[in-house]
C-alpha cells in the first residue's frame, strides 16, 4: 500500500510539473511567433523543425532531468537527433515540444505542447497546452479529463451521418500514400458525414474529440509524441483509442484512431485504407 501511495504522489508531482512546463513552453512559442522563425527540414522538405522546437524540448528535458533524474525521456527532437525511441518500464516522459510545427512556421493559429507520462509502458497522465488558444488540457488515469479545469466529455453521437471526423494530410508526399489518404477521406466524406476537419496538430485534434467537438480523429503517419498525451485525455473524457485496423492502440505504430464510442469507431475503420509506416521503435538503420 505504501508503494502505491508513493507512486501516486510522484505522478501528481510530475503532472503538476508537466503543466507548469507546458505553460512556460507556450510562452516561448507565443514570443517566438513575434520574431522570424528559423526553418529547417527533417525527413523531407515538408517535415519542418525550428530552433523553437529544439529550445522548448531542451527546456523540458533539462527541467525533467533535474527534478526526476531517474526518469527516461522520448522527445520528437531528441529522437530526430539520434536518441532511441524505445518505451521501457522505466517512468518515461513522451514529449512533442511544438505539435503543429508547420502551423507555427506559417502563423496558422493552432500550436500545442504535448507532454505524456508512462510507467511500466502504461500512460499515466497527459497534458496538452494549445498555446494560442490558452487552453490547458489535462488528464490523469482514472481521474477524468479537463480543459482549463472544466470537465471534458466526448460527444454522445452514434450516427456517423451526424458526425464530424478529423484527420490530417500528414507529411508523406509519396503519390501512392497520398492516394490512400485521399481515398480514405473520400470514403468517409461520402458516407456522408457532416464534415471533415483537421487543425494541423494531432494533439489538438484529439483534445477536440475529448471536448465533444468532433466524433473521431484518425491518422496514419503520426508519431508517439503526437498522440500519447491526447490518448489519456480522450480516454478520460469517455472516448476510446484503437489502431486504425480495429486492433488495440499501439503507441509506436504511427497509427491512431480516437473516437467518442465503439459504434463510430467501427464505422470509420471500415473506410480506412490502412498502410504501415516504419514504426517509431524500429531499429535506427531501418
Ligand atoms: C504533426 C502532427 C500532425 C501530422 C503532421 C505532423 P509535428 O506533428 O501533429 O498530425 O499530420 O504531419 O506530424 O511534426 O508538427 O510535431
Domains 2-148 and 160-269 share a fold: no
* Mean pLDDT along residues 252-280: 98
pLDDT score at 54: 95
- pLDDT at residue 145, rounded to an integer: 98
Q: 127: which residues sit within 8 A by CB, 6+ positions away?
A: 15, 18, 19, 22, 113, 114, 115, 116, 136, 137, 138, 229
Does ligand 1 come within 6 angstroms of the Cβ of 171? yes
**What's the whole-number mean pLDDT along residues 27-36?**
94
Question: What would the pLDDT profile of 180-205 be if each residue is shown by its tens digit?
Answer: 999 999 999 999 999 999 999 999 99
**pLDDT higher than threshold 90 for residue 284:** no
Q: pTM to 2 decimals?
A: 0.96
pLDDT one-digit tens code per residue, 128-166: 999 999 999 999 999 999 999 999 999 999 999 999 999
pLDDT for res 286: 53
On the question of pLDDT at 59 being above 60, the answer is: yes
Alpha carbons 83 and 91: distance in angstroms, whole number: 17
User: For position 38, what pLDDT does the model report?
Assistant: 83
134 is in an annotated binding site: no
Domain ranges in the chain are 2-148, 160-269
Is 281 known as a binding-site position?
A: no
CATH number of 160-269: 3.40.190.80
pLDDT for res 2:
64
Does ligand 1 come within 6 angstroms of the Cβ of 167? no
Q: CA–CA separation, 102 vs 50, rounded Å?
A: 10
In words, the CATH class of domain 2-148 is alpha beta
| Sheet with 216-220, edge to edge strand ranges | 195-197, 164-166, 216-220, 255-259, 240-242
**What region, left, alpha or beta, does residue 95 occupy, with left being phi > 0 and alpha being psi -120 to 50 degrees?**
beta
What's the mean pLDDT when you consider all of the chain? Answer: 95
For the Cβ of 96 lying below 6 angstroms from any atom of ligand 1, the answer is: yes
Amino acid at each position: 500500500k505504501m508503494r502505491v501511495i508513493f507512486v501516486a504522489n510522484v505522478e501528481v508531482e510530475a503532472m503538476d510539473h508537466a503543466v507548469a512546463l507546458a505553460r512556460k513552453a507556450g510562452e516561448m512559442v507565443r514570443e517566438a511567433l513575434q520574431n522570424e522563425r528559423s526553418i529547417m527540414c527533417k525527413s523531407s522538405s515538408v517535415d519542418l523543425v525550428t530552433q523553437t522546437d529544439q529550445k522548448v524540448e531542451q527546456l523540458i528535458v533539462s527541467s525533467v532531468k533535474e527534478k526526476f533524474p531517474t526518469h527516461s525521456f522520448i522527445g520528437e527532437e531528441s529522437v530526430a537527433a539520434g536518441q532511441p525511441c524505445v518505451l521501457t518500464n522505466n517512468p518515461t516522459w513522451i514529449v512533442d515540444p511544438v505539435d503543429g510545427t508547420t502551423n507555427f512556421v506559417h502563423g496558422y493559429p493552432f500550436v500545442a505542447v504535448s507532454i505524456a507520462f508512462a510507467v511500466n509502458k502504461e500512460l499515466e497522465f497527459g497534458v496538452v497546452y494549445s498555446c494560442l488558444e490558452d487552453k490547458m488540457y489535462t488528464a490523469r488515469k482514472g481521474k477524468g479529463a479537463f480543459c482549463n479545469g472544466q470537465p471534458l466529455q466526448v460527444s454522445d453521437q452514434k450516427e456517423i451521418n451526424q458526425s464530424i471526423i478529423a484527420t490530417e494530410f500528414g507529411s508523406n508526399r509519396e503519390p501512392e500514400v497520398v492516394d490512400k489518404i485521399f481515398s480514405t477521406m473520400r470514403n468517409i466524406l461520402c458516407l456522408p458525414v457532416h464534415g471533415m476537419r483537421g487543425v494541423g496538430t494531432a494533439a489538438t485534434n484529439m483534445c477536440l474529440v475529448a471536448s465533444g467537438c468532433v466524433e473521431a480523429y484518425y491518422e496514419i503517419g503520426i508519431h508517439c509524441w503526437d498522440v500519447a498525451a491526447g490518448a489519456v485525455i480522450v480516454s478520460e473524457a469517455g472516448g476510446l483509442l484503437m489502431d486504425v485496423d480495429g486492433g488495440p492502440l499501439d503507441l509506436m505504430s504511427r497509427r491512431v484512431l480516437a473516437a467518442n464510442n465503439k459504434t463510430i469507431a467501427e464505422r470509420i475503420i471500415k473506410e480506412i485504407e490502412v498502410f504501415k509506416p516504419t514504426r517509431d521503435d524500429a531499429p535506427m538503420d531501418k
